[in-house]
Structure 1
Amino acid sequence: MEVASDGGELWRLTLQYSPVGMTLVGLDGRLLMVNHALCEMLGYDAEELSQRGFQEITHPEDLDTDLEHFELALNGVIDSYRLRKRYLHSDGHPVWGDLSVALVRDAGGEPLHFVSQILDVSEQHEYEQRLRETNEELQHERQALSAIFDTVNVGLLLIDQDGRYERMNRRHQETMQLPFPEGHAGEAGQLGHVYLPDGRLMTSEDMPSYRAARGEEFDDYTYWVGDDPGDRAAFSASARQVRGPAGEHLGAALAYQEITDLMRAMRVKDQFVSSVSHELRTPLTTVLGYLELLSDRTDLPVDAAGQIEIAQRNTQRLLALVSDVLDVARAGAGHLVLTRTATDLTALVREAVETSAPMARRSGVSLRADAPDRLVAVVDGSRMRQVVDNLVSNAVKYSERGDAVTVSLRRVDGAIELDVADTGIGIPPDEVDLVCDPFFRGGKVVERQISGTGLGLNIVKSIVAAHGGTISLESELGRGSTFRVVVPAG
């Protein structure tokens, strides 16, 4: 078919050199003229394409739509149309094209041919498809997280960088009524019926939301809520900071778990332990006193004296255990009372080393102190003696023949540092964070049948904390351990 126009040659040049696929299509759908860009797009040469109709190079699933528009144009319903469709490449794979079609008519209005322009949008389509799939996945995740957010039996709260409440779940909304019966303004630090574990009313600075808004992260921050002491509920709060891509502070997320039943059970347990321990302590002290009187007698048979000595030793062990249990109960209830006085810690350390020296000699363990001639701090002397005694006796107990234990004492920047280092059996990495838990005894300890209750280090931790100090541990299995206690000098 001859294509006539005043600018025919110019049209052919435009067609051939256009970077976009172009073709002239006959009224029967045959491709009359194709340009280089379209040949490149579909993998055919010009001669091959010119022997085909657009029906042959259209994906079967898109053909009906294309034919429908084609017929509408031929019938004069529309003059042009545009659609996105799939073409078939010579090797069979689909090529997405953005098709624009216009019908050319002669001076009398009769159709001559179609001008089609096809832009290869395969990459764009693939990107859009991935984007749709990603958006669908995100929407699904958002819906799932929203369902979880409102279903979990834990109060969840999001605050922005200024401490304003952004979002809270159903559970948190329900629990807000007890501490804030008059309503909440939605800002961190608002005061209400919120109390510290010792019963004191919380200040704004104590409130979990205020601490989180200031950038703190914490776990298991315990408090009570409610105006009536008899109906108060206990909660444990944890907080994590929310940060942007560059690490900038965007806000915080808080989780609130009601632990009323647990706290009441612990209170009953502590009261029971304290009561039983007190009841045991008095008769044990009496028994020990009478045993001491008996041991002072000179008219006892030799075998009786030995039996009394065994009874004394075991009664003393039982009395020490009762004292340990009492200390743990007091610490758990926050009743560990300190009597601070100026104390020479050097003397205290040397006494503790002398006390453990016989056990060290029997075990073949070297024990020495590295301390200044005098180091005075304002502490509870008897409690700090407990700390040193426990750490030194543990170091000796968990060392083997030929090992060494060194007790170091020094003043560093207004604080007292006490190190108890041994070259003993060491502690496995997965047990390092557990050694100060009450009644914890490690696998190696149980395996070697080393005696103990697992209370000593918990008591040490409580005494150190009551002094406003810290205890840390570095250990390597088979190489030994170093406990470091740091307390203010007073």
Structure 2
Amino acid sequence: MEEGYLLFDADCKVVCANDAALKMLAMDNSEVVGRTVHEVVHSWHRYSFASECDFERNLRLLTIVDPRFEIFSTKDGLMYPVIYGIEKSHGDNLPAGYILRFSKTKDRRRVGQDLRLLSAITLTVAEVDSWDMALMQVLRLMCTALEWDLGLAWGPQGNSLYLISSWHRGSSAELTLSKEGGFWESLASQAIRERRVLVEHNVQHGSSSGVGLGAEIAIPIYYKNEPIVVLHFFSLKPEMTAQSIDLACLTASYLGALLSRKRFEEALRQSEEKYRMIFESALDGIITLSADTRILSCNPAVEAIFGYKAEEITGKRLEVLVPGFTEEWLPLSNDEEPVAYDMTLMGSSRDGADLHLELSLSRVSGLDESPVFVCILRDVTRRTKIEKLVKVQSSLLRRQAQMLDMAPVAVVATEFDTGIVIYWNHGAEKMYGWTKGEAKGKLLSSLINTDKSVDASIYSSLKNVGFWDGELRVNTRDGKHLTILSHKALQRDEDGLPASVLHVDTDITDRKRMEEQQERLLLIEQEQTRRLRELAQMRADFSAMIAHELNSPIAAIRAVLDVIEQANSNMRHKNLLNVIKREVDVLASLAGDVYNASEYEKSDFEVSLSPVSLKEIVMDAYIYAQSLLSEYHPIEVVGDTDVLVLADRERIGQVMRNLLSNAAKYSHRNSPILIRTNILEDKAKLEVVDQGPGIHPDDMDKIFRKFGRGRDLLGKKLPGLGLGLYVSRRIIQLHGSDLEVSSQLGKGSIFSFYLERVVT
């Protein structure tokens, strides 16, 4: 193996070099002799973050170094692995000094491991979004590659360190150690103070030993001579191998610039996001322009002001938005203050509407040093219109005194203390019948005949709060009674003392008459509603009586059928008797439905609410379905039921039985029926789900009406009296909820309702 050597003196200046060294360094003798070893030998293992690396420190201190692994690079940047050592020169033919011996190594496996780890770290750090995540991935990759068990990353903060991130293999002891935060005066802080890598084998002290860790290494990472992080690794083994330490140091030497770039990228991204947020949320329009006034970008406010999409105006000149805008308006240099045009410029929106704009311009440098101009536009169209309106209103106010005389309402002014009329407009003449000459100088109360007690109340309100609003009964000159809506406001003199009262009166006699008529009609309507309720009560009572009376003959028919069936063994007769029995059962069911519906229609019908276990309600329904319906349909229960709800257990059970019976009645044989629950924060939802033919959209409301029935897929009315869902909805409404349905034709229906939870 070819070995190169450099002989250097105590000042680290090269005295001579052999041909092998010159060949590996890609230099000639004149480039080497007389220069320092630091200038000649370039180590890729150079710590770009520190003032010097281990290799350079060994040279400076003239330390004798046993052969170890390193990566050198030529002046052209080509890298090659070497084994190097430093020893004192000896022999008669060599001057006193030191020898740096190095030879290329054939250990490709080790070099490949180095480069694979560096490549993995580079790619991973580039892919993650944040500085903290980058550190976590570095710790993970280094611990995995070097077979270490715990990695911590410490950030410098003043004179102490704080834990940024940690990675461990999963043991509880290591996890505890990574969360302790007790490393302020540990190997990590010592390494950053001494600005060098520190390794400690056979750890016998501190919390590291307490959790079974045997060796530790602290590697400070610098960038431009400033500490940015300390990597702190632990191993369960009592010693770390020299190869793993070398590889860790090699990797760390590369991390300074890499991690600093990641932190810069994160800060830049946050800055860009902040700028983008400000840019996009600004109420003013912001446009960037090139030197020829072409639009480079714009924020959403520009789109809102002008009505264009950004892509429609990007690349076009600004005069599309601001007619007449030219390059002469742009600031000449960066030193100029932003140009603000105080005058209002005219803009044009996409639909051709005129816009009033305020505009300011400033100049910045682009990425290629070409000038970029920022244009800020404020839409003052509405403000301009308001200013014009204010001018118009000011002109109108000057004429209002003249116009008061033409107002359709009565405007009167009286002295505060005496009540004597000092102003009487044409509206007052028309309303009260007194002319202006007749009214002025008279008491207002004598002209319109107001109540003295009311006048006293009005006077007190004016004195205390400065105004009074209300209705008054007054008389006109010819004795006609009027109801007026009067607004009275106290006017004060220059000294702030009460001077006069302004009265603005509106005749509401006709309106009051209509209101009284409406009140009478409302009373008539309420009486009719009461009678209708009485009629409904009578109808409900009659229906209940009929349904009740039907029970006796139905019971008698059933008894007679039982006797006939026992006395007759003829199979044909038995079949006929079974038909009669089924029809009697149908009749009894109809009578029961009519009776129940009539009971629920009564105004005094109530439900008895109490805390009930939802599980009991669901189990009652499940047992009923299993006993009567399971032969034709599988019954399933889904959802949590371990809560209390506020319900009438008997009535809710009736609702569930009705819904399950309908599901079985209208579903295909062997199709499953589902009882489903869903527990919410303050309610519990119950659902009955079937796979029947579904409900026609036009029938969604009809099925809940009394005697309402839906249609099948062929449009034919379904069998039944149409009372079950009507009664069920009435019960659910009394529980403070409503019976709801969602359905798809050919796919099935879901009936659902809510019950209030009882918080224990």
Instruction: Please give the range of the TM-score, normalised by the shorter of the 2 chains.
Output: 0.3 to 0.5
Higher relative contact order (CA 8 A, sep 6+): 1
TM-score after normalising by structure 1: 0.44
Rg larger in structure: 2
TM-score w.r.t. structure 2 length?
0.29
